[in-house]
Structure 1
Amino acid sequence: MATIKDIANAANVSIASVSRVINNTGSVAPKTREKILKSVAELGYRPNANARALKSNQANSLGLVIADWHGAFFSCLAKGVESVARKRDATLLVSTGAWQAETELKAIELLLEQRCQSLVVHSKFLSDDVLVDLSKEAPMVFINRFIPQVPQQCIWLDNKIGGVMMTRYILSKGHRNLVFINSNQHIEDSIDREAGIKTELAKQGLTFDPERTVYVNPNYDGGEAAIQQFIAKGIEFSAVIAYNDAVACGAMSSLQDFGVDVPKDVSVIGFDDTDIAKYSRPKLTTLNYPITEMAEVAANLVLDMVQAKENIKPYNLSYVPSLTIRQSVIGSSK
């Protein structure tokens, strides 16, 4: 990572001249300025967020990177961070990663350039190494992700246990003809939940059948499309294990369109326990993902890191979901 000294050496000028150009203070000859700016571009230099924030009296600025603004999950995440920022008198800036590595990187870099001194980052597509490297520029806490190199900077949920819990509950109700609707996004959440499903099936002497799994966009339309595919293939089932609440509700809507009664004919379980789970018909049995609480912890932790406390308050870094039983799952009659 380039430093001011590297820029000075490359441009064959003094460190003071580089500092004046970067901070836009003092006078520098036009040709010297041009040489410095050329070296800045070539070396990919970016001023350290900590130093810039302190110099500009923005030491209490907090950045948040989320995948997008759509869906209850990210609304709850943003709400948790915002509530802490308000209580701790921090200025909050938000940028979105749009489910792409390149855009996630740009979102983080944008917030650093905007002089955010600390960041809460939800990233699913940047590599661990890239995120660890970026975290050297400013304090960062990664939410909904575990990075072995920086475990004390990660707030994460055990999605594998979640997959186990969903499957165990459905099987406890006597269901054996299961179908699974997973996300088509190749991220830890979908991978780990499916791993948990397979683990619990194997534990109970059952086999995971790929023909009974559909990978879709993790939203209402995806759930609807998945049910249409299962029915078109003539697959019989008494229970649906869905990637999240949106997929589950889309699936229930599609089942009802086909004249299938939920839960009398088919039971459905979701994941996240967002508001839609409470207001769907029937009300959705699901796993609670405490994302608002996790977001509050992430924001408090990263702000504590900024203050360089010697003894930062111990926070709960890892979470497990909990089962919320409502109306969409009953015992199998098949």
Structure 2
Amino acid sequence: MAEPVAASKENVSVPRPIRPHTLRSIYRNRWFYLMMVPGLVYYALFHYAPMAGTLIAFQDYNLMKGIWGSPWIGADNFKLIFDNPEFYQLMRNTLLISVYKIIASLLPEIILALLLNEIRVRWFKSLVQTITYGPYFLSWVIVYGLVFSFLAPGSGLISTFVRDSGWGQIDLMTSENFFRPLLVMTEIWKNTGFGAIIYMAALASVNQELYEAAVVDGAGRWRQLWHVTLPGIRDVFVLMLILKIGGILDAGFDQVFIFLNARVYEVGDIVDTWVYRYGFERLEFGVAAAMGVFKSVVGLVLVIGANKLAKKVGGNGIW
């Protein structure tokens, strides 16, 4: 009987011991690690633990039986989604609204940040920044109330003015042609100030020596803007664009749900409002969860693709 061949030292994996200086480093920074604990617990409880609910997408979920007791049906929920005649209309509405918002919001954010960056009077700059940033803290319910007070059929300020001026009756809030522009305009009014703050932070990190060198070379304000300022915020612009592309299937549920009405369902019904109806009105939790999984997969693919594209054109991307 042949004797077993002794394993060579190269094939034996010996666990690397924790070096003393690593332990000392952890102990020296123990308070920083301790401050990380609440954040780690938050993400573990509210971001990673709920991922177990993804199983609902592959089940005929029953509230009484729970996740572990509901029957497994495989991909039937996904088949029901893709076979639904409303699916392609929902995707079309969601993509159009999201793309409109992305295209329309990026430029105002950059322009506002550039304008604020040029203001030299500190108190006036703070005043303008506060006014433009204020709407971000309003809920969409309040924004809808403001819009309703202006555009409500028959009683809104603008509607009444148009009617009393003899120009006829307008009904903008229930108009299919005006619904998507209304979403875009309210999105810009509410969130432009917040986006401008992000770009202002990027502008603050631009090396001031570049401006001094541009002045020495005879560059005016427009040349400095084109050759120094815009390249300085390019990476932030690409980052914001990638993040918005990754959430292209969201389209802003809270905003659309508040503004949506029966007359504009054909142009305003999106994936998230459909999920709400199936999940909370019809109690079809499995179908709603399957749509959520589909959205997550599409978002992941878009983020990865946009990140690779950004690197190919010379940007840094997210990672």
Q: Do both proteins adopt the same fold according to a TM-score greater than 0.5, normalized to the shorter chain?
A: no
Normalization by structure 1: what TM-score? 0.23
- Kindly name which structure, 1 or 2, has the bigger radius of gyration based on alpha carbons: 2
* Structure with higher strand content: 1
Normalization by structure 2: what TM-score? 0.24
Question: RCO greater where, 1 or 2, for CA within 8 Å and sep 6 or more?
Answer: 2
